[in-house]
Each structure stands twice: as structure tokens, then as C-alpha cells.
Amino acid sequence: MSLQRRPISPQGFRKLQEDMDRLIRIERPSVIKEIEIALGHGDLSENAEYTYAKEKQSLIERRIRDLQERLSACEVISLENRPSSDRIVFGHYVTVEDVETSERKMFRILGPDETDISQGIISVNSPLGKALIGKETSDVVEVKTPNGVREYEIVDID
């Protein structure tokens, strides 16, 4: 099975690497110490500390594997020194206006591992991200949402 490439900015890639490094260098050794201490308390069948530490270890190991898979599938896309473009591409900030409500919103289009709607960062793979890629200022895009189809006019590309 081949992994699908996941676009990511250099900053997003570094953040994933730092998260994995913290889990391997700090969290994993810490939970191993917790297990060793809990083992010293005797009977494992009634040892809540041991059970908790083993569950925590399992979660850490699962998160490490997940990050390793995600990092191996990442395609780092440099956002610097790109030729100027009138079309929306990965990394752009885009201001859109809801055609129906005239509400304006600004988004940045990045990879799925960087999505944070509270910060206005949407995935290039999201319905809105897919609709916006390749479009220009004044274009209108239709996006299927849980509340039906919405139309957005592209007001600005930065």
C-alpha cells in the first residue's frame, strides 16, 4: 500500500517533528519510570498505578507510530521564493465573501496536518480548500456544506 503524499509547510513539518521528538525523548522515558515505580508496589492485579502507566504508555506509542506515518507521507512545500501568482495556491491567505450573507472571512490554505479553523487555517483537502485552489480574485466558488451549498466570492489573495 503506498501512502498518499500530504502537503505541509516547513513550519508544520517542524512542529510534527518536535512533537514526535518530545514523545520519544521525554514522554516515553517518563512513563517507563512510572511503570518501574508501580512494579515496585507489588501485586499487579490490584495496582491502579501500573494499569494507568501501561495505558499511558500504549497511548504514547500509538501517537509515535501515527506521527512516524504522517511524517513519512509529508511533502514539504516551501512557501518562500515562489513566483507571484494571481491564482490561489498552497500557503496563500484568501479572503472570501459569502454571496448570501456578505460575511467576509480570511483563510490560509495549508496541509491537513496544519488545519486549525480557530486560526483561520483550512486544509487544501477540505471542500472549501479544494474549491479555492487555482481560482482568482472575483471568482465565485460553490462549496457543499452540512447546511447546503454555499457560494463564496474571492475578494483577495495574499
* Domain over 93-157 is classified CATH 3.10.50.30: yes
Give 79 or 26, the one with higher predicted confidence: 26
Mean pLDDT of all residues belonging to the chain: 92
User: Mean pLDDT throughout 103-126?
Assistant: 95
For the cut 50, the answer to whether the pLDDT of residue 111 exceeds it is yes
Buried b (16+ CB within 10 A) or exposed e, 64-73: beebeebbee
Q: State the pLDDT confidence band at 82, using cuts at 50, 70 and 90.
A: confident
Domain boundaries along the sequence of the chain: 6-76, 93-157
pLDDT in tens, 20-72: 999 999 999 999 999 999 888 877 777 888 989 999 999 999 999 999 999 99
Q: Are 138 and 153 in contact (CB under 8 A)?
A: yes
Percent of the chain residues topping a pLDDT of 70:
97
Q: Which of 14-28, 74-88, 117-131 has the lowest mean pLDDT?
A: 74-88
> What CA–CA distances, in Å, run from 118 to 9, 75, 107, 147?
18, 24, 10, 20
Res 3: pLDDT: 57
Res 7: pLDDT: 94
Residues 6+ apart with CB under 8 A from 6: 70, 73, 74, 75, 111, 112, 113
Residues 6+ apart with CB under 8 A from 46: none
Q: State the pLDDT confidence band at 126, using cuts at 50, 70 and 90.
A: very high
Q: Could you tell me which CATH class the domain 6-76 is placed in?
A: mainly alpha
* CA 95/CA 157 separation, integer angstroms: 7
pLDDT in tens, 116-125: 999 999 999 9
User: Mean pLDDT throughout 71-80?
Assistant: 91
